[in-house]
Every structure is written in structure tokens, then in C-alpha cells.
Amino acid sequence: MERKKASDYPQELLDLFHEYQHGDIDRRTFLDRARKFAAGGVTAMALFESLRPNYAWAQQVATDDARIAADYQTVPSPQGNGSIRGYFVRPARPSGRLPGILVIHENRGLNPYIEDVARRFALANFVAFAPDGLTSVGGYPGDDEQGAVKFRQVDGPKMLEDFIASAKWLETRPECSGRYGAIGFCFGGGIVNQLAVRLPDLGAGVPFYGRQPSPADTAKIQAPLMLHYAENDKNTNAGWPAMEEALKASHKQYEAFIYPGTQHGFHNDTTPRYDEAAAKLAWQRSLDFFNKHLR
């Protein structure tokens, strides 16, 4: 399939797909409303398929890369759904104990894009754990659309406890130095904000276009934050001014960036919303931030 960019689509269509991605509308509604953009022999279904993730585009680090060691681990979560399974990645030849990074997925579960992000951290000399919030309903099913269905079946508060259990497990791993941070995308960005509220020993948090906590919860945050937002993401961005005001009022340490011309999901290199320049800049900023606060 030819790789397209967000600029190849009308903003209204991108916003419509965003509604679908977040479960506000179903596929049939998307297709009905997308028909007005179908022209020149391109059907609404073809538009839908072109906007969906293509995981062949995403792999930056091969699963069998000799520089890393990776396997799946199951973590006890007595306050959550009982247990949570995740992808555990570290350098194949580590130089001592390393900082940990918890990698939190979008609202589809532990898909290949998120696993690749975890491998990228291992190459950057971190120990990474990417838990699958869908564990209690059978795990990521190999398909994002089915993943979205399963996501809505999970008890949300218990899933948060699963992620908290994952963070504590990572912190105490023998490979980990005991210092750890968290990064998350979309739904996962919101989870990173919640982890920052709940976990006083979180060393650094990097939410990408994540839902913000209340001002009262924001005041509880101890970890330094680096927040990444897309310019064309009005729903997510609407909550940022109040959070920033709360961060300033309680003298929290944070950096925030809004990337011009980008869409929600601009770091995800499996869809047309990917913006290579913004994604690379945000990634390097994130690595520098974690290195500064966790080493």
C-alpha cells in the first residue's frame, strides 16, 4: 500500500477518523460520513483502509536484533485484574543496572508499534517494559479493530492498577537501577499523567497527547514531566491550559511542546498521521529528558 501523509487528507476526514479511533463512532458511521470525501474512484472503504495502521511501516528495530534481549513476562497485580502480561526488553550486554522505562500503549493494546518503541529504548541503553492492558480479556488480538472492542471490555480502574503493578515490578527488577520513568501515547499518555499522580517515586513522565488529570490531582505530581501535543488535536489540547496553570501554581517541574501542523498520533509511524520530523524531534527530546532525570 502506498504510504500517504496527513496532508493528503482533508482535516475534517482526519478528525472523523480520530472519532472512530477513540470509540466515539463505529466503523459504519465513519464510512457513512466519509462518503462525501470519496471521489475519483476512491471509495469510503478505501479511505478507511488507507488511514488504518500498517505495521509493516513501523519496525525500526527487528524483533531478533542481536543487540537486545526480549521476552514476555507476567506480573502479579492483586489490586488490578490479578496479573498483567507485557513485553520486557533490555540490552543484550548491559553495562550494569540500567534505568527502566514503562511504555504504555494506546487504546488498542500492546500492538507491534508499541513493542517496537520498547525495543528502541533497549537500544538507547534502558530496560523497558510494555504491559498489555488487555491481558484480562485475552490480550492484544493481533488486530487493532478487535483490540478496540476488547479495550472497552476491561475494567478501567483495575487496568490502571495493573499499570501501577507493572511500574513497581520494573522498579524492582535486578536489571533495573531502581530509577524508572514512563512514556505513553494517546490513552497511554493519559495513563502516564495518572501514574505521575499516584506514584511518588516515578522519576520522569513523558505523555504524548494524553488526557490531563484534574488540577487537584496535578498538584500531587512529584515527577518532572515532558508533555508532547499535536497542534491539530483540539479535544486533547482543550485540557492543557488548566493542567499547565495547576503545574505552575504548585511549582512543578515540566516542559511542554506543541508541534505545528501535526495530528494526534504523530509519533505513531504506522499511520498517515505520522509526522517524521516532529516524531524524531519529540523522541530525541524524550531520550534526553530520561537520561537527565534517571541516570
For 83-139, how does the pLDDT look when each residue is reduced to its tens digit (9 = 90+)?
999 999 999 999 899 999 999 999 999 999 999 999 999 999 999 999 999 999 999
Q: How confident is the model at residue 281 (pLDDT cuts 50, 70, 90)?
A: very high
pLDDT value at residue 4: 85
pLDDT value at residue 204: 98
pLDDT value at residue 138: 97
Mean pLDDT of 161-181: 98
> Is there a contact between 68 and 123 (Cβ–Cβ < 8 Å)?
yes
Domains of the chain: 6-52 (no CATH), 61-294 (3.40.50.1820)
Task: State what percent of residues in the chain have pLDDT above 90.
Answer: 90
Q: What is the mean pLDDT of the chain?
A: 95
pLDDT value at residue 200: 97
For 211-237, how does the pLDDT look when each residue is reduced to its tens digit (9 = 90+)?
999 999 999 999 999 999 999 999 999
For 184-216, how does the pLDDT look when each residue is reduced to its tens digit (9 = 90+)?
999 999 999 999 999 999 999 999 999 999 999
Give the list of residues 6+ apart from residue 197 with CB closer than 8 angstroms, or none.
213, 217, 218, 220, 221
Mean pLDDT of 242-255: 98
Angle between the N-to-C axes of helices 44-51 and 11-21, in degrees from 0 to 180, rounded to the nearest 10: 70
pLDDT value at residue 2: 66
* H helical segments located in 220-295: 234-237, 240-249, 276-294
| Cell numbers describing residue 132 | 498489555
> Is there a contact between 36 and 9 (Cβ–Cβ < 8 Å)?
no
Mean pLDDT of 18-29: 90
Q: How far is CA 244 from CA 199, 214, 251, 286, 289, in A?
A: 20, 11, 10, 19, 19
pLDDT value at residue 1: 55
* Residue closest to 235 by CA, chosen among 15, 64, 71: 15
Q: How confident is the model at residue 17 (pLDDT cuts 50, 70, 90)?
A: very high
For 31-50, how does the pLDDT look when each residue is reduced to its tens digit (9 = 90+)?
999 999 988 888 999 999 99
pLDDT value at residue 42: 87
Q: How far is CA 168 from CA 26, 28, 42, 94, in A?
A: 36, 41, 49, 21
